[in-house]
Each structure stands twice: as C-alpha cells, then as structure tokens.
Structure 1
C-alpha cells in the first residue's frame, strides 16, 4: 500500500487491528468512520452530521467531536478541511467560515479530542491519497493526479504514493482564465453545456496540466465522475483519464491514511 509520509516519520500509527479514524469536513456535512488500512474500507457505516452554520472553527470542531464520539473512538484521528493547510496553519477557507484562516487546527482539535495523534490536510489531497492507494490509481506507476470536478476543481498530485500537498490547480490560469472557471461541473451546469462540449473545455485544462507535470494518470472525481461514460470518451488530451472509484469514502479513508503516516503539512 502506497501512502504519503512526512520526512523522518516514525512508524505508522494504528490501533491493534490496523485501523485509524477519518473525518471529512465539507460545506454541508461532516462525515467520518473507522478505516481498515489493510483494505481501505470502512469498518461498519460512516456517520454524518450537518456542518454547523456559521461554520466557525469552534462549531465545526464540535461536529468533529460528535462524529468521533459516535464510534466511542479514542485512537488517532485524521481530518480533512476544504482548505490549504501549510505549516500546521489553515491558509484558505472554501465553503467554511473565513474565521478558519490563520487558525491552528491542531490546537483546536486537541482541545475537543484530547491528547491523541492528529493529522489535518486538504480534502482533495486526502481523496487523492485514498484513490492512489486503494482506488482507481491502485496499480498505477509514476505520477498520479486526482482532479475533483464540482463547484471548482480540486487537485492532488502523488508521485509513487508520495503526496505533493496543496497544489490548488483549479486556480491555475489556462488561456487567460482560471481552470475551474471554464471546466468545473458548475460551469457546465450554469451554461447548460452538453457533456461533449464540456469535455472540450476539460481537455484544454488537462492538456495544460499534462504539459507542465507529465502525469501518468488522471483520476476524475466529484459527482460528475459517476457519469464518466458520458464525457471521458470525448476527451482529447493524451494522458489516460479514469473515474474515481471510492466516491464518498475517499476523504475519510485519506484522512485516516494521513494520521497513520504521521503526515503533517
């Protein structure tokens, strides 16, 4: 199993059964569950609570605690945020309260979860780790790039299983316009484009990415990946594109992988 690891990391952390806990924080819901790190599967069902509004750090931390307490879990916990997390500090906030910016999520979570191993990372990065290890990229070699097509475009880059965090490629300018402003699934919906027409815009963005990074595989995530058969065949870029397979569990699984690997970004 490939996974990201921080430089000089100690041995992985799991409970005695090789499990860790993942929480995926989104704009509308906070969901989590126990992850079997041998298989990448959830142990039992996931549990979800609504993201509080306003989604301030303290309020969201309370929701995370509720999810963890639901399972009576007292081991390591990994958490995703729709944010850039760098140097242990939240730098951006997408679909959550702007009060997260410049906050210390580790201190915040330690205050509600107590003294236990923690990891906090970007949600797309977590999904990329999970897909690379257990999902659509499991057997891929070299550089794998996950792109989540939704309101914007999230990204994760992994090279031989090692994460390059916080890439935010949806904000890269392609032809004078941000990538996510021409190829997100929201843009497709707003313009009522056919899948074929939208695929042309996606191809333009993917070609720009592959000219810079030369990935070996693109993994397409987000809700629109469930209809991959309607648009992936229309893509014209050179790198293979496959749909994500873990769907709603990817963030949870990636968060659990991150804390197991002692990842600190």
Structure 2
C-alpha cells in the first residue's frame, strides 16, 4: 500500500503553472495510474482554500484533507478547528510560513495553534523548504524545534526534510521524538547535488519509522516521486518492513490517533 503524504490541488488547473495540471480529478487519476491508494491534500489559504479542498476530499474518498490555518489570525484558527477538524472534514493541519507570512519571531503564536491541534490529536505539517527572499528570515527548522520542545505531545511533520537544511533537520528530529520528516520535492530538486547525498545520510540515521513518502504533486508527478523514494530506500538499505512504514504505515499511525478518541 502507498499513501502520498504531501500533495496539492488548485481550483485553477493551471494554478501551479501552464505545464502542470493541479485539478483534483487529475490527481485522483494519477494516483490510480501509479498504484497509490490515498493521498494527503494540503490546503494553503487563500489560493488553495479550505472549503475547496474539503469539498474535493468529500467527493474523492482517497483524498485526505489537511486544513490551512494561520497562527497570526487566532479567530480564524479557532473557527478552522471547529469547521474542519472537529467536524471530521479534515484530518490534519498545514502551516506554510513563507506563504502565510510568519517567521521565527511568531513562534509563540505558532505554539498556541499547535497546542490546539495536539489536544485534538491531529498531525501538523510544516513547510520547511527555505526559498526566495525570506530564505534567512523564517528559520523554519529552528521554529519546528522550538515548537516541538514546547508541545511535546504534538505530532509534527517537517516537510521536505528541511530542504537544503537536511543536516539541521536530522538534529531536530533526533532531539524531538514527536517530529518526523516527509521526503517530498527535495530529492527531485537537489538530484545530483551534495544535498542529495546528505539526504541519504540523514534518512539512514533517522530510520524508517521517522520518514513519510510524499511527492509535492503537482510539482513532482506522483509516480515519479514513488520512484524517487524507492531509490532512497535502496541507497539507505531499507528492507520491506521499513518501506511499508515509509510508504504507508507511519502516516496511517499519525492519522489514526484522532479517530481513536
């Protein structure tokens, strides 16, 4: 079984560029073609809004929605938990510092949001791919460490294994039992670089129980991403049991906590 733990859809099929199809229907078709059973779909307000993602997940049971919440807007956070998480429409939280405008300076507000998610036992996925003009300002990996330390009962997913900061990601995950990584986009973006070599080292050190498969579709095709993750597994020496955790078991464990309440 394969679950893609990191995908996106967009109400405009060309919302990720003219050469990518970001529609929900195309994602579902691509999942089927690649032999992928389910996918986590991450809302990012306002472009990939919560209502849109929740609607498409209701239409396609193989899609699992994560709600987009902004820690700088506490009222919308409270409303979002009620409307999407408590209702069962969504099953996790997506935070995107670069697109939502918060940085390491807003860690207190992020902690307050994560505390609410932890009470509801839903996972929180942080974008952690430093990029663009906020590259030095946000400090995503450090923020995740501080939040994980403050809310040890929260289940935190560091997306992209920290991007270029894979070594920092290793130390954060090793230092916080409540943090795991997904391998979306980074092996594609950094293929052929020393970062890719570092990624193999990091994943081997972390072990299979701290790793989630993900694509970042439509940025990376879901089938291509499966091949990328399999290549990482080969180079890390992961066995079949390890691979079952990476491709499905770990994200299933995180998602099952809320439903077990």
Q: TM-score range by the shorter chain?
A: 0.3 to 0.5
TM-score, length-scaled by structure 2: 0.38
Bigger share in helix? 2
TM-score, length-scaled by structure 1: 0.38
Comparing both chains, which one has the higher relative contact order based on Cα–Cα distances under 8 Å and sequence gaps of 6 or more?
1
Bigger share in strand? 1
Larger Rg: 1
